């Protein structure tokens, strides 16, 4: 606001100095001096004459707009405004191109003035120059679509996610159940797929799903959202709190979506989110194909001409949503995630690690470096363990099994295998015999295979089922003695002290 009339009132009616007038109206002394000089040049130096004029009339007298010169072609301001959104395009370049078509056209100063006068008459959001492929503005609509439960007839509101490219106004919209992080991230993934490319920056409001700690100067981006930006090689630039002009583009786009999508759904009933989104997709195509009066082109045409050529390519795979949490490595070198236990390298015992869980995987990071990943399990109370994460002693114990121990024994000899099998069967639980069997197998290193096989044969004969018996046989050299002959003891013959079966028949004597 130039405040022309007030400046002239203070000067010609009250006789104030330029400096006093500048303090009074909040303008610089230079601006005050220029206004007074323009009034003099226009022949306005008497307050009574000035008082009869309105502010608009004064502005027209002091700031005379150059009239169009007959025969000179005026530049197309809408075309200039559109072209300025393309990378590297300036008014100076457009003026050069204008003169190539119209050699007798306006010089650069009048060329720029003509464009700027047009721009000032447009909506405030249009005064921003959005570069092609630069920003994707995202937000939720305050007005919400509805879905009806087909079983109960309950009507529930759902969210309307809206995204718009700054240069072309190309729009994406969809309905989601909530504004929470999984829906927020999934909407971004689908929006970027719809664009078939990635802009240089994402501009959201400071909602909790996108910004963990809001702030005017250093907002903290929610970790999964930052991870999405990294995956798509872009950046998140949140709008300042309470500064709707930072995302005026999407504010206007949300209003358009409410009028051209939600308003057209008001008399329709949808029994599922999928059916609602199918209809929204149809209306969205119509919206993007509709010709905009200001530009004389549709959003899709501008998108194909401006944004698509400069959008970055999508990565090979879409982003997979994951939630982050921090966990401490337990004494058994496992971390707990949703009541299931996942192993990490045992060297991290007692450390705090970052865990990223998605629908299919659990990834574990230590100081920013991924140390392991597991397929996600829904079994509560069960462990998922990788052998390489175990200490050496635990790894060896995990490799033990009854059948494996028996096979190790049979490699030494059949008697060794038979003894190990007998030991395992004699225990209530096979693991109770593991250490005894391993002790027997390790005796091979000290005494050799042949002696151990003979010692096990002797132990099987006397039904000695322990490591101590086999070790004693070898220490005492009993395996080197010749095998004992089987001695048969004759059964006792008839004897007066031997009672036969008839003794127990009949009545006992008194």
pLDDT, tens digit, for every residue of 228-246? 999 999 999 888 776 655 5
Which of 477, 399, 489, 476 is closest to 438 using CA atoms? Answer: 399
Write the DSSP string, 153-210: --EEE-EEEEEEETTT--EEEEEES-SSHHHHHHHHHHHHHHHTSB-SEEE----TTT
Query: What tokens appear for 483 in the block?
Result: 């095998």
Please give the pLDDT value at position 196: 93
3-state secondary structure 473-503: HHHCCHHHCCCCCCCCCCCCCCCCCCCCHHH
**112 Cβ neighbours under 8 A, 6+ residues apart:** 91, 95
Where does 209-339 have alpha helices with state H? 223-231, 248-257, 273-289, 299-302
**509 Cβ neighbours under 8 A, 6+ residues apart:** none
pLDDT above 70 (res 503): no
Whether the model pTM is above 0.75: no
Which of 108, 113, 171 is closest to 138 using CA atoms? Answer: 171
pLDDT, tens digit, for every residue of 102-129? 888 888 888 888 888 777 766 544 445 6
Please give the pLDDT value at position 126: 43
Q: What proportion of the chain, given as a percentage, has pLDDT over 70?
A: 86
Candidate from 190-194, 214-218, 353-357 with smallest mean pLDDT: 214-218
Please give the pLDDT value at position 359: 77
Please give the pLDDT value at position 127: 45
Phi-psi region of 446 (alpha: psi -120 to 50; beta: other; left: phi over 0): alpha
CA distance 329 to 336: 8
The overall average pLDDT reported for the chain is: 83
Decide: helix, strand or coil at residue 119. Answer: helix
CA distance 181 to 177: 11
Please give the pLDDT value at position 262: 87
pLDDT above 50 (res 265): yes
The CATH architecture that domain 135-310 belongs to is: 2-Layer Sandwich (3.30)
Candidate from 62-66, 105-109, 146-150, 358-362 with smallest mean pLDDT: 62-66
Name which residue leads in pLDDT, 318 or 368.
318
Q: What torsion do the CA atoms of 122, 125, 131, 132 make, to the nearest 10 degrees? A: -90
Candidate from 5-9, 244-248, 266-270, 320-324 with smallest mean pLDDT: 244-248
Please give the pLDDT value at position 416: 93
3-state secondary structure 50-65: HHCCCHHHHHHHHCCC
Instruction: Count other C-beta atoms under 10 Å from residue 430's C-beta.
Output: 17
pLDDT, tens digit, for every residue of 35-56? 888 888 888 888 888 888 887 7
Please give the pLDDT value at position 392: 77
- Residue 490's pLDDT band, with cuts at 50, 70 and 90, is very low
CA distance 151 to 271: 9
pLDDT above 50 (res 31): yes
pLDDT above 60 (res 501): no
Please give the pLDDT value at position 166: 85
Please give the pLDDT value at position 65: 57
Please give the pLDDT value at position 321: 87
CA distance 392 to 57: 92
| Residue range 72-86: mean pLDDT, rounded | 81
Which of 184, 175, 174 is closest to 226 using CA atoms? Answer: 184
* Domain boundary assignment for the chain: 4-62, 77-122, 135-310, 323-393, 400-480
Using a 10 angstrom Cβ sphere, with 0-12 exposed, 13-18 middle and 19 or more buried, the burial of residue 200 is: middle
pLDDT above 70 (res 495): no
Decide: helix, strand or coil at residue 276. Answer: helix
| Residue range 426-451: mean pLDDT, rounded | 85
| Residue range 496-500: mean pLDDT, rounded | 51
CA distance 204 to 202: 6
Write the DSSP string, 370-385: EEEEEE----TT-EE-
CA distance 248 to 336: 45
End-to-end CA distance of the chain: 141
């Amino acid at each position: 606001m130039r405040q022309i009339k007030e400046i002239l009132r203070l000067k010609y009616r009250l006789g104030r100095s330029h400096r006093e007038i500048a303090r009074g109206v909040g303008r610089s002394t230079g601006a005050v001096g220029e206004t007074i000089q323009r009034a003099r040049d226009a022949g306005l130096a008497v307050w009574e004459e000035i008082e009869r004029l309105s502010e608009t009339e004064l502005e027209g007298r002091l700031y005379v707009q150059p009239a169009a010169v007959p025969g000179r072609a005026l530049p197309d301001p809408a075309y200039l405004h559109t072209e300025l959104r393309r990378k590297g395009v300036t008014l100076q370049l457009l003026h050069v191109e204008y003169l190539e078509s119209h050699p007798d056209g306006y010089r650069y100063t009048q060329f720029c003035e003509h464009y700027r006068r047009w721009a000032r008459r447009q909506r405030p959001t249009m005064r921003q120059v959005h570069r092609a492929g630069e920003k994707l503005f995202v937000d939720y609509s305050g007005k919400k679509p509805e879905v009806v439960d087909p079983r109960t007839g309950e009507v529930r509101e759902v969210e309307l996610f809206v995204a718009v490219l700054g240069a072309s106004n190309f729009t994406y919209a969809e309905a989601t159940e909530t504004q929470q992080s999984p829906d927020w991230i999934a909407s971004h993934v689908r929006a970027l797929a719809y664009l078939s490319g990635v802009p240089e920056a994402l501009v959201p409001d400071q909602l909790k799903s996108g910004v963990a700690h809001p702030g005017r100067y250093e907002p903290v981006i929610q970790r999964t959202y930052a991870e999405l930006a990294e995956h798509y090689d872009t950046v998140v630039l949140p709008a300042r709190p309470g500064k709707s002009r930072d995302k005026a583009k999407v504010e206007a786009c949300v209003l358009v979506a409410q009028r051209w999508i939600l308003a057209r759904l008001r008399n329709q009933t949808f029994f599922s989110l999928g059916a609602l989104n199918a209809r929204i997709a149809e209306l969205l195509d119509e919206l993007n194909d509709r010709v905009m009066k200001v530009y004389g082109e549709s959003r899709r045409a501008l998108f194909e001409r401006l944004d698509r050529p400069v959008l970055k390519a999508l990565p090979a795979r879409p982003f997979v949503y994951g939630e982050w949490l921090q966990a401490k490595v337990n004494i058994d070198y496992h971390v707990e995630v949703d009541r299931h236990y996942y192993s990490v390298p045992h060297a991290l015992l007692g450390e705090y690690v970052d865990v990223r869980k998605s629908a299919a995987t659990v990834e574990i990071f230590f100081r920013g470096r991924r140390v392991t990943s597991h397929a996600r399990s829904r079994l509560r109370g069960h462990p998922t363990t990788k052998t390489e994460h175990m200490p050496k002693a635990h790894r060896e114990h995990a490799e033990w099994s009854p059948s494996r121990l028996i096979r190790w024994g049979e490699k030494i000899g059949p008697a060794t295998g038979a003894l190990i099998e007998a030991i395992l069967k004699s225990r209530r639980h096979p693991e109770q015999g593991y250490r005894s069997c391993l002790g027997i197998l390790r005796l091979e290193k000290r005494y050799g295979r042949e002696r151990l096989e003979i010692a096990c044969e002797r132990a099987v004969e006397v039904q000695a089922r322990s490591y101590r018996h086999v070790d004693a046989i070898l220490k005492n050299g009993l395996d080197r003695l010749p095998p004992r002959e089987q001695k048969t003891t004759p059964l006792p013959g008839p004897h007066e002290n031997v009672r036969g079966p008839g003794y127990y028949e009949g009545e006992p004597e008194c």
